[in-house]
Every structure is written in structure tokens, then in C-alpha cells.
Structure 1
């Protein structure tokens, strides 16, 4: 049996832009990020980064060494990323030392990165357990930018933080992007966060892309609309409550439904939905949706 965590996905992200990938747990978002970072070896496909082919299954190309320092990640839980026994300055300097940057220069650049993310020098000699959740995530961001990457992969970077701290981290990421012309790929289950951060959105379900759109457009696929309804804006004047309730859970990747994998949860499912998987279709303005209703 072949399990495809990500299936037939193709896209391009312009330099300095942000792609927000949204979907429930189990939709293949994190697998896609780890594949882009070459932490996973996909059985097939091709990845081009900064004009360089870094992976090609047909030509047996795998350039992990090339992307080291140029692609970095910020994870959902900084606890799993930050070594509790190390000092903060050493945690941030570690990626540079892995690239054989001299110790003195690595420490200097680490201190600069820590200041860049809004933390004071008071924390340099502290351990992660002595920091708040928001401070730990800022350390994780500093660790991600210290190598001067071209792309940062953001895996639910604020989901474990309260709303006020979330806003601070998101705005920090936007400021860093403007300063360094960073390219982001953001994974989140919160469509509102993705819309706030992104230039483009990709809606994932069961490892497949069901919608691609400019972040300023309104989603058309029912699944994407349900995600939007799950996290409404607190502004009562702009709030659109669609009252869309999607029943059931994301199906197991080991036993996906036939045709459109969303059809068991869709109140508008037709016979064709059960028989044939929809392909992404252009509906104008760079907006594509995979749904037999379009």
C-alpha cells in the first residue's frame, strides 16, 4: 500500500512574498514544509529554490547542503526546538556553528539576531525554562534568521500563544520580512491568520490542494469557507458569519474516499463528486478551485 501524504501539488512563491497554507490537522501541511526543507525525501517530484533545482527524483538530485542556512524553520512548539540545557545565546548561535562560522562571529551575530526580535541582552545567559512562551518563540525566530536565510518556513508559529502575544509575533515576522525581503511559507489552521500574513493562500485537504487564491480574495470552496467561519473576525462591522458547519473528521490517509475526498462531509455533494476527483480550475484573477460546482 502506498500512502501519499502530499499528492500532485505544484506551486510557485515569488521572492519576498508569503504563501499561507491552511487546513485541518492531517491535511499534509507540515509534511509539505518538511519536504521543501529536504527533511523528507519524497518518492517523486521536483523542487526548485532560488533558481537551483534542489530535488529531482528522476535525475536523483538532492542538494541538502545547498539549502543549509538558506532555508530555515520556525516550529509550532519552541519547547521542542530549544535545548533546555543551553544558554539562549548558544541556542541562537548553534545554526551558525553548524555552518562552520567562527565562534566569536557566531556569538556576535546571535546577539544581533536576539536584538532584532525585540529581546534584551538580559536573556543571553538564561535558559529556555526562564523565559515566557512569547519570549521562547522570539528566540526561535532569532535562531531562524541568524543565518540570513532567503526563505523561512513557519509551522503554526503562534498556535500555542495567547491572542495578544500572537499578534506581537505575527507583526515581528512581517517587520523582519520587510527588512530582509524574506520569503515565507506559513502553515496554519487559522484562515484569518493566513489572510493577515499572506500574499497567496493554498487550501489543503487530505494532502491535496483544493484552492489557490490571492489572499485578498474570498475563498470559494465550501471547505475553505468553513475554515473562515471557524475563526471569525472580532470586528462586528466586518464580520461575516456564514454558519457553515462541516461534520465529521478528516479521513484517514490509508482509506481515502473515492472521487473528491471532501464529498462525505459536503452537503452539496453530487454523484460526480463520488466518482471523479476535481481538478483545479481557474475562476479568474489568479484564483483556482477544485470543485465540481465550478
Structure 2
């Protein structure tokens, strides 16, 4: 049953990719996302963190059905996306949009900024008069802090921060309820990152948006998000119900310890992980983190821990939580 508090609900979501090792090698399978259960509450910012290759971006694309899942369910505001026709899914996508990581490749270089901002209306078959189109473009540019003179500019004439603002404006063109932000600050300078995060905070407060914020930067996620989901090799290993909650999974603790603190008084000794990262094509039967975990024992190597939630809403998948 759908919970009205949640805008998006994922249940046992899987995504399997196959590849062939060499020209005549046999086909290998990799579970990029495996058995993910996740709720995204309305009007909140849910962060997803983890190392590169853990399945964050795949999860982001699955949520919007840019990728077809291998199994499981995706519900958006009570509607199961797997049962929709192509036309119904296209119409529902007016309510859910994505801001991509790379602002340099997200916009067609042949498009002016006005063309890029009006593209969602064209795709959705929404006809605008010349005056309406001009007004929409000016409103969207103003919404993200850009002047109307930007409408005639092309991508090569803009900075990375300006392009990302255009990407955000384009995502907002159809007045969506839900934005998936796939590392929207990763390719920007630190000062520009701060400006983009401040803009996203402002828009979320003014428009009542729901965000799924994908990042590898746990410090940024702890600042920006209302709750934090931690992934490791395709699975959720912990869900922090609020950003300052103490981690219970050793992997989350390692991520926190590796976060750089610019204040010398806050710097600490970092304990390096040992052991090899498990192959995504040949995951062990137990916990995928066991080979790197200082707390691992035979049970961890033999039995995969399930994600269990306590009364405070703190979920972790660990046989020996901290």
C-alpha cells in the first residue's frame, strides 16, 4: 500500500547488466542495483551516497524510468511506472525531471539557451505562442538567477556554473514535483558549487520540491539533505534518518572518517581500509563489505545481512552494527 507521505516508493528494485569477457568469452552478469527498498518523502531532500560504481547513478535513472528495471516496482505518487504505456509515462514525466552531472554535455551545443529551455514543451507537445515562449524563457532564466540576455547565448559562451543553472531551469520548465539531482556540483569549482547548492535550497523552499540528491560527497550531503541513504556495490547498507545521526555501518563510518575537515582542530587520524573490493560480477555470498571490514567474522562472510529498521527509523544492514 502506498504511503501518502512518500512521493516515490521503490520495492525490491533490481537492475542487471550483462557483458561478454572478450570476443568469444561467456556472458557475465552484474547487479548494478540489487533489492533496493527506498521511500522518498514529499517535500524533503533524500541524499544517496557511496563510492564510484556503487549504483547511485543507475538508481537515479531507474527512478525516472530512463532505464528499465530488471525487477521490482517503482511507484510515483501511487502510480506504478511499470504498468504505464509510453504515452502515459511521457505525460507523467512532466512531474519528475533530472539535473545531470555534466553541464557541458547536458545541453545540445547547437541549441541556444532559449531552445534548450523550450525543449521540454516541444517534447510534451505543448504549443506556445511566440509571446508565451519568450515569457517562459525569461521567467525560467530569472528563477535561476540569470538575465534575459542569456536567451540568445550558446553553450560554448557560458561558464560551467551558468550551464548548470540552465540545466536546473530546463528541469523546472514543466513545474515538476520531483527532481533527481545526479551529482549536480561534481564538475564545478568549489565556489560555484556553493552557489548551486544555495540555488537548489532556495528553489526547494519556494516551490516545495522533492529532491533525490546523488553524490559521493558525504559532507555536502550531510549539509543539504534531510536523510541519507548509503549504497555499497548495488545495495543499501544504511539509511540515516537525519544527517547528523551517528553511523551504525562500518562502511558509513569509513566514509565519514574520510571526509576532509578544513579546520585543523577537527582533523583526525584516518584509518585506511585494507582488503580488496569485491567484484560486481562475482559478489560473495555474505556481506559485500566483509573483505574490507575490521569487524567481519565468519557469519559476515557466509550470511548477507538484511536492511533492518529500528524504532527511530534508522536502518542498517550489518551483523555487528556500531
> TM-score w.r.t. structure 1 length?
0.92
Query: Which residue is equivalent to 1:117?
Result: 144
For residues 94 and 120 of structure 1, do their structure 2 counterparts lie closer, same or farther at Cα, with a shift above 3 Å needed? same
Report which stretch shifted further, 241-250 or 214-223: 241-250
Match among 111, 118, 125 for residue 93 of structure 1: 118
**8 Å CA contact retained: 2:238, 2:307:** yes
Query: Which residue is equivalent to 1:234?
Result: 262
Q: 2 CA distance for matches of 1:108 and 1:246?
A: 55
Query: Which residue is equivalent to 1:48?
Result: 75
Structure having the higher strand fraction is 2
Match among 65, 82, 98 for residue 38 of structure 1: 65
Q: 2 CA distance for matches of 1:99 and 1:123?
A: 24
Query: Which residue is equivalent to 1:75?
Result: 100
**8 Å CA contact retained: 2:278, 2:291:** no
Deviations 1:144-188 (A, max 9, x none): 111111100000100111111101101100100011100000110
Correspondence 1:158 to 2:185: yes
Deviations 1:37-56 (A, max 9, x none): 01111121111112222225
**8 Å CA contact retained: 1:24, 1:250:** no
Name stretches of at least 5 consecutive residues in structure 2 with no aligned partner.
1-27
- Higher relative contact order (Cα pairs below 8 Å, separated by 6+ residues): 1
> Secondary structure in 2 aligned to 1:47?
strand
Q: Structure 2 matches for 1:1-294, cutoff 5 A?
A: 2-55=29-82, 63-103=88-128, 104=130, 105-214=132-241, 215-236=243-264, 239=266, 241=268, 243-247=270-274, 250-294=277-321
Deviations 1:214-240 (A, max 9, x none): 223122211112212222333456x36
**8 Å CA contact retained: 2:101, 2:187:** yes
Report how many residues are paired. Answer: 290
Q: 2 CA distance for matches of 1:280 and 1:67?
A: 31
For residues 80 and 291 of structure 1, do their structure 2 counterparts lie closer, same or farther at Cα, with a shift above 3 Å needed? same
Q: 1 CA distance for matches of 2:92 and 2:59?
A: 16
**8 Å CA contact retained: 1:223, 1:246:** no
Name stretches of at least 5 consecutive residues in structure 1 with no aligned partner.
none
For residues 70 and 267 of structure 1, do their structure 2 counterparts lie closer, same or farther at Cα, with a shift above 3 Å needed? same
CA positional deviation for 1:15? 0.9
